Structure 1
Amino acid sequence: MAALAVAGVASAQSSVTLFGVVDASISGYSATTRDNRPTVFPNQFGIPTYLNQGSVKVSRTALANSGYNTSRLGFRGTEDLGGGLAASFWLEAPVSNDDGATGVSTFSRRSTVSLSGGFGEIRLGRDYTPTFWNDTVFDPFGTNGVGSNLINTASGYNLSTGGAKDTGGFGGNQNYARASNSIGYFLPPNLGGFYGQVMYAFHENDKYSSGRFTPEDSATSKSRAGRYIGGRIGYANGPLDVAMAYGNSTVGDQFYAGTTDSVKTFNLGASYDFGPAKLFGELSRLKNSRDYEIRPITGARSDVDLTGYLIGVTVPVGAGLIRASYSAVKYDFNQPYNPFVLNNADPKANKLALGYVHNLSKRTALYATIARVSNKNGAALTVGGPGFYKVTDRVFTPKTSTGYDFGVRHAF
């Protein structure tokens, strides 16, 4: 009876696929800071002595993973339910093949179940957010390795940490790339090139009625923190692909303070394949804002804006592909102008990335990428690896970050 039950399950399942990517690279990173303060020599007037400390370069060489495509291991399957209706699942885990420390212990890349048909697809679980798709689809480097565009880098970094990766992302946004506990709807593929999706992710926090019973403890009063709502609409036909997306992620909610913090994202991306070359471009704007139930007369927190753009190109050369991109971002703290404060310009950064991929087969490729980030006015973005030296001490100013990837990728 057990054997017959297993056979019945197997016959009902139309397809089950094991898939994955193993990507390894020799990668190098460096981050340079500089002491911009002038040297002050001792004198008879008692002016304090200060000796300029020059620059500090922090570097690292590593055997890394995911320099071209993200290493992963996944399972996906589809069952034909008849009448054009199908049920599907997708479980995808990150893999750190350089040290073997991370395997199928979590399906944090994607874990969804869905129903699809002529109406489109309804997908439940953890998945990419609509606003992240433009950052990765219209990047020649696919937001991987040292070549990943600065829009992606800045959206996942906290400006105050000196280049250290912040799991909260810009403004505390943990829903930048993926959202858990989500419901997604995707348009059917037969709409003459138009495509789109909408997503709503539950915050799964407790709500108290009446609200005055909400605990005052900060950890439990964030009743809406974690919620995400967004959508994406695009058009792809022949060589042209263009899409725009918008999302709103609730990153903080304090009932007794009467405040709600959110990160709103809007981006527009496009690509056009001319044959000899394919061009990419993206414009993006993120706003970290605080809404007040009763806005205070003084002391209200200003919004923080992050704007960025990307231009890129890929050029096929025989079995290879040349990749290049230039991206830039700028922070705006929306502070009033103060003529008595020097060097209060908004932080900004730009990045140039160059790379080459040589395909040994459809599944195996060799690749090389180099990249350089230039920071100004206190921006602290890196290509990866170590953060800048003692940025939080306000002695050294972040300047440049450089890196390279030389690796091999095998897909199965």
Structure 2
Amino acid sequence: MKPITNALRGAPLLALAWAAGTCQAQSSVTIYGIMDAGVRSTTGMDPSNNRSAGDANMVNSGINTTSRLGYRGVEDLGGGLQALFQLESGLNINTGATSNTSKFFDRGAYTGLRGDLGTVTLGRQNTLLADAVGSADPLATRFASLNSNVAISALSSHQLGTEYGASGSSTGTYRLDNSVKYAYSLGGTTARVMHAFGNQANSNSKLSSDGASLEYKGDALQAVLAYSQFKTVTGLSLKAYVSGVAVPVGAGKVNLTYSGHTADTSATAKTRNQVLSLGGTWPLTPQLDLLVGHYRVNRARTANVDDGYNRTIAFLEYKLSKRSLVYLEADSTQWKNNYQGTGLKSSSTGLSAGIKHSF
């Protein structure tokens, strides 16, 4: 009887072990990240790539792709329904500090559900403009701190001095707090809508945002169109759009984007920005890729002379493995009508060399 008794006593443990294995198979959590650092030398820009009267040499983080650490998870709820979450922090690996001192998960903090009827997510997440730029930009948002589509088209560094939408910042509106995003895909077409609450007492409009986008991905063409509008705490508005196409050319592809926004900067003043970009990716060998993006920025402000700049950024990337690559980068900027500021150089250049590892 002892073997039978021992077997019966062990049955609950076997059942628990089986249940634990089943739960583990139905859900997963992934730790991921990008570590990117390089040596950079510039003329006419400071270590943060701002316009400057002098030159600079430095080690920078995220020259190719923004360094980050993230956690994402998914749980199968049955019937084709899944629960999901994502938490992501930007990092400056040259100093070991987080990119944002006030928001630890500054790059994303949301949860949601995904099923046959689409995906809904709630929390801090990219705007639809940022999603569109990520799909259409010639450099696929490489060098985010210098990329004009990231900075101006997607409003990461709009230089307007006011918080538009619940971004938590007066310098950029690339991501929004308190937001709800819904996406539905049919074939190669994805439609998205987004609303961000301002979370302001006695007001549904202050710091709020609304947007919609449509994206198509096919073998011969990729295209995206996005529109969003944002409110300040005083009721000023910013209205913006991003459009772009990508077509294959031989083994590579060519990207074209056109975007713009109009922002009320006061009750009587406006700022308008327009960005036209052209470029693409060309494989030179199975391991070596050339990426080039050219950006033309035009700015108009009430009671100011129109200005802007032309910027070209190029990358050579050599893949060491599926997760690691080394790169060379070169950029040149020609400022128009004193856009760079009084007393500063009329042109800027930069050279970088670095390594990126993904995990």
With over 3 angstroms needed to count, the CA separation of the structure-2 counterparts of 1:13 and 1:111, relative to structure 1, is farther
1:187 corresponds, among 184, 189, 198, to 184
- The answer on 1:199 being equivalent to 2:194 is yes
Comparing 224-233 with 122-131, greater Cα deviation is found at 224-233
Partner in structure 2 of residue 408 of structure 1: 355
Q: What is the correspondence of 1:160-239 to structure 2 with a 5 Å cutoff?
A: 176-188=173-185, 191-207=186-202, 224-239=205-220
How far off its partner does 1:226 sit?
Answer: 2.3
- The answer on 1:246 being equivalent to 2:227 is yes
How far off its partner does 1:124 sit?
Answer: 0.6
With over 3 angstroms needed to count, the CA separation of the structure-2 counterparts of 1:250 and 1:306, relative to structure 1, is same
Deviation per CA, 1:113-146, whole angstroms, max 9, x where unpaired? 1111100001011111001222232223233327
Q: What is the rounded CA distance, in whole Å, between the counterparts of 1:274 and 1:113 in structure 2?
A: 38
- The answer on 1:118 being equivalent to 2:116 is yes
Q: What is the rounded CA distance, in whole Å, between the counterparts of 1:264 and 1:159 in structure 2?
A: 15
Q: Specify the SS of the correspondent of 1:132.
A: helix
With over 3 angstroms needed to count, the CA separation of the structure-2 counterparts of 1:194 and 1:173, relative to structure 1, is farther
Partner in structure 2 of residue 354 of structure 1: 314
Amino acid of the residue matched to residue 137 of structure 2? D
Partner in structure 2 of residue 305 of structure 1: 272
Partner in structure 1 of residue 56 of structure 2: 60
Partner in structure 2 of residue 95 of structure 1: 91
* Structure holding more strand per residue: 2
For structure 2, list consecutive stretches of 5 or more residues without a partner in the other structure: 1-11, 47-51
Q: What is the rounded CA distance, in whole Å, between the counterparts of 2:144 and 2:150 in structure 1?
A: 12
Deviation per CA, 1:197-244, whole angstroms, max 9, x where unpaired? 111111111117xxxxxxxxxxxxxx7442111111011111311010
With over 3 angstroms needed to count, the CA separation of the structure-2 counterparts of 1:329 and 1:103, relative to structure 1, is closer
Partner in structure 1 of residue 69 of structure 2: 73
Q: What is the rounded CA distance, in whole Å, between the counterparts of 1:230 and 1:249 in structure 2?
A: 9
How far off its partner does 1:401 sit?
Answer: 1.9
Q: What is the rounded CA distance, in whole Å, between the counterparts of 2:162 and 2:264 in structure 1?
A: 19
Partner in structure 1 of residue 4 of structure 2: none
For structure 1, list consecutive stretches of 5 or more residues without a partner in the other structure: 34-55, 161-165, 209-222, 254-259, 292-299, 336-343, 381-390
How far off its partner does 1:99 sit?
Answer: 1.3
Q: Specify the SS of the correspondent of 1:67.
A: coil
Amino acid of the residue matched to residue 32 of structure 2? F
Q: Tell me, yes or no, if the aligned pair for 1:31 and 1:402 is still in contact at 8 Å.
A: yes
Partner in structure 1 of residue 332 of structure 2: 372
Partner in structure 2 of residue 297 of structure 1: none
Partner in structure 2 of residue 315 of structure 1: 282
How far off its partner does 1:400 sit?
Answer: 1.4
Partner in structure 2 of residue 44 of structure 1: none
Deviation per CA, 1:325-358, whole angstroms, max 9, x where unpaired? 11111111254xxxxxxxx641121101121001
How far off its partner does 1:103 sit?
Answer: 8.2
Q: Tell me, yes or no, if the aligned pair for 1:23 and 1:67 is still in contact at 8 Å.
A: yes
Amino acid of the residue matched to residue 315 of structure 1? W
Q: How many residues align?
A: 331
How far off its partner does 1:32 sit?
Answer: 7.0
Deviation per CA, 1:291-318, whole angstroms, max 9, x where unpaired? 9xxxxxxxx6132211110001210011
How far off its partner does 1:320 sit?
Answer: 1.1
Given the two structures, how large is their TM-score scaled by the length of structure 1?
A: 0.73
Deviation per CA, 1:73-132, whole angstroms, max 9, x where unpaired? 111111111111110111111122111122897111111111111000010111110012
Amino acid of the residue matched to residue 405 of structure 1? S
Q: What is the rounded CA distance, in whole Å, between the counterparts of 2:111 and 2:290 in structure 1?
A: 37
Partner in structure 2 of residue 280 of structure 1: 255
Amino acid of the residue matched to residue 214 of structure 2? I
Q: What is the rounded CA distance, in whole Å, between the counterparts of 2:98 and 2:45 in structure 1?
A: 30
Amino acid of the residue matched to residue 126 of structure 2? Y
Partner in structure 1 of residue 7 of structure 2: none
How far off its partner does 1:149 sit?
Answer: 3.2
Amino acid of the residue matched to residue 91 of structure 2? V
1:31 corresponds, among 44, 50, 54, to 44
How far off its partner does 1:71 sit?
Answer: 1.0
Q: Specify the SS of the correspondent of 2:98.
A: coil
Given the two structures, how large is their TM-score scaled by the length of structure 2?
A: 0.83
How far off its partner does 1:153 sit?
Answer: 3.1
Q: What is the rounded CA distance, in whole Å, between the counterparts of 2:272 and 2:89 in structure 1?
A: 33
How far off its partner does 1:168 sit?
Answer: 5.1
Q: Tell me, yes or no, if the aligned pair for 1:232 and 1:246 is still in contact at 8 Å.
A: yes
Q: What is the rounded CA distance, in whole Å, between the counterparts of 2:244 and 2:125 in structure 1?
A: 20
Q: Specify the SS of the correspondent of 1:141.
A: coil
How far off its partner does 1:158 sit?
Answer: 5.8
Q: Specify the SS of the correspondent of 1:131.
A: helix
Partner in structure 1 of residue 5 of structure 2: none
Partner in structure 2 of residue 386 of structure 1: none
With over 3 angstroms needed to count, the CA separation of the structure-2 counterparts of 1:371 and 1:168, relative to structure 1, is farther
